[in-house]
Amino acid sequence: MFEILKNFESKYNTLKKKGLRIEGLSMIDPKRKKHVIMISKPFLFDNRQLPKVYEGLEVKSKIEGGLPEEFKFDKEAIKKEYVWAPNKFEKYVDRCSEEIRKQFGNPAMSRKEMLDALAFGNFEEHKKKSLQMMQEGKIPPFKLN
């Protein structure tokens, strides 16, 4: 398993310049002995550059540093508000598209590309999954747009 982590580190080492921190292996389910690769990264990071699974291990990430105003929340509101609601990504991209293009070094980046980069690699998939979780009552209701 440590070999997988070493391979992951060498393959994605160049992303460290963009704020990626590889924290190591973590056991998330002791009963099933399920391990994951834990990483941390800034909010403004192109998630399309990272896999969701690497050599059989899930890649779990957390955001390091501050969040844009669209995503800030009150600790009490966490049960009433879905932090990663799709409309928040859209509002942020619409408000900060020039800053995002500059950060990613791509002046021709489209709105869809920015949404995909920020929303875990695929915005439409995130939106669909979020709507499903909302309907199942797993996350608080949110508005689209």
In a domain, 35, yes or no: yes
Residue 10, pLDDT > 90, answer: yes
In a domain, 48, yes or no: yes
Q: In the chain, how long is the greatest CA-to-CA distance? A: 48
Give residue 142's pLDDT. Answer: 86
Domain end, chosen from 63, 92, 116, is at: 63
Percent of the chain with pLDDT over 70: 98
Give residue 78's pLDDT. Answer: 63
* pLDDT tens-digit series, residues 20-78: 999 999 998 888 889 999 999 999 999 999 999 999 999 999 999 999 999 987 777 66
Residues 75 and 127 in one domain: yes
Give residue 77's pLDDT. Answer: 63
The range of the structural domain enclosing residue 125 comes to 70-135
